[in-house]
Amino acid sequence: MTALIEIRDLAVTYGKGHAAVNAVKNVSLDVQQGESYGLVGESGSGKSTVLRAICGLASISGGEVRINGVPLKTPRDPAFYRQVQMVFQDPYGSIHPRHTIDRVLSEPLAIHGFSDAEARIEKALEDVGLGKGFRFRYPHQLSGGQRQRVAIARALILEPEILLLDEPTSALDASIQAEVLNLLDALRAEKGLTYLLVSHDLAVVAHMCERLLVMQHGACVEELPREALQSRAATQRYTQDLLVASEGFKAP
Ligand code: ADP
Ligand code: MG
């Protein structure tokens, strides 16, 4: 069976000459349809760059990415964005501060030529646990957790198959983090979504993902099933250090 997301020897270099940064080197992974796959590693290890390369925010310098067996087109076409959507860490930065939630959610629908915006916006708000009452509010009238729910609603409104989640709860208070992670879990089950989720937090990845790739300095360290984290059966020293460093790490 072809994996839904296939990444082969991906390389991303930012800048040129002396200023060049090899942010991602020879990263390969497969994500199966319906799976949640985690990328974990310390800050600067290249996790976000992998997601940015998939969705066209960073250019691919080597290797290949295929979605459903089809190599990515550059630039990505509208069909790609109907299939793949991204959720960023910072809901403050990713939602326009002077646009109502209605406008934030209307824009992708208008761009992709959907005519049933009204019904889709109401459904999307309901899906993320925000009622219709939020529709004409502004981002500053929402809490951080509510704003991240809006970002998730915006990502889901085109009914994509794949969500690329970049530290989706890292900017939130611990209690709110769990709520948003549980929401993402429920949405994946309900809609049959496939996740590629980035986190520096092993507990988040252990809770959310069936398999994970540990990254360091832009490269793969090892791929593990969730159970290996829970039983602390990492084979590589770097992963063992990460486990020790994540004090309070608890298997769910
Ligand atoms: P992570 O998400 O794991 O923290 P990133 O993918 O953001 O890591 O960054 C990987 C490396 O690429 C880091 O060394 C970072 O400084 C560098 N980097 C990220 N974005 C850029 C950019 N736009 N220009 C130059 N270097 C960058
Ligand atoms: Mg990052």
- According to the model, what pLDDT value does residue 250 have? 55
Query: Which ligand sits nearest to residue 219's alpha carbon?
Result: 1
Separation between Cα atoms, residue 172 and residue 151, nearest integer Å? 13
- Ligand 1 contact, 44 CB (< 6 A): yes
Provide mean pLDDT across the span 46-54.
98
Q: What is the pTM of this model?
A: 0.96
Hey, which of 12, 27, 49, 55 would you mutate to test ligand 1's pocket, going by the most ligand atoms within 8 Å of its Cβ?
A: 49
- The reply to whether 125 falls in a domain is yes
Ligand 1 close to Cβ of residue 62 (< 6 A) = no
Closest ligand by atom to 42 CA: 1
Looking at the structure of the chain, the number of domains it has is 1
Q: Is 21 in the pocket of ligand 1 (CB under 6 A)?
A: yes
Ligand 1 atom with the smallest distance to the CA of 218 is 10
Question: With contact defined as beta carbons under 8 Å apart, do 42 and 106 qualify?
Answer: no
92 confidence band (pLDDT: 50, 70, 90): confident
Q: Is residue 170 included in any domain, yes or no?
A: yes
Locate all alpha helices (DSSP H) within the chain, ordered by sequence. 47-55, 78-83, 91-94, 101-111, 117-127, 144-156, 174-191, 202-208, 226-230, 237-245
DSSP 145-174: HHHHHHHHHHHHTT--SEEEEESTTTTS-H
Quote the CA–CA distance of 75 and 79 in Å, as a whole number. 11
Minimal-distance CA residue to ligand 1 atom 22: 14
Domain holding 15: CATH number? 3.40.50.300
Query: Does residue 224 belong to any structural domain of this protein?
Result: yes
**Structural domain contains residue 250:** no
* pLDDT one-digit tens code per residue, 173-224: 999 999 999 999 999 999 999 999 999 999 899 999 999 999 999 999 999 9
Neighbours of ion ligand 2 (CB under 5 A): 48
| Model pLDDT, residue 251 | 52
- Token readout for 235 is 């084979």
Residue 251 in domain: no
pLDDT at 17: 94
216-250 residue pLDDT tens:
999 999 999 999 988 888 889 999 888 888 765 55
Residue 142 has pLDDT above 70, yes or no: yes
Do residues 12 and 187 lie in contact, with contact meaning Cβ atoms separated by under 8 Å? no
Mean per-residue pLDDT, 133-149: 95
Nearest CA to ligand 1 atom 21: 14
Find the length of the chain. Answer: 252
Q: Name the residue at shortest CA distance from atom 2 of ligand 1.
A: 48
Instruction: Specify the ligand 1 atom closest to the Cα of 50.
Output: 6
Cβ atoms within 10 Å of 59's Cβ, excluding its own = 11
Q: What is the pLDDT of residues 4-43, one digit of tens each?
A: 999 999 999 999 999 999 999 999 999 999 999 999 999 9
Residue 252 forms part of a structural domain: no
> Minimum-distance ligand to the CA of 53?
1
Enclosing domain of residue 146: 5-245
* pLDDT (mean) for 49-70: 97
What per-residue confidence (pLDDT) applies to 19?
A: 95
Check if 25 has its Cβ closer than 6 Å to any atom of ligand 1. no
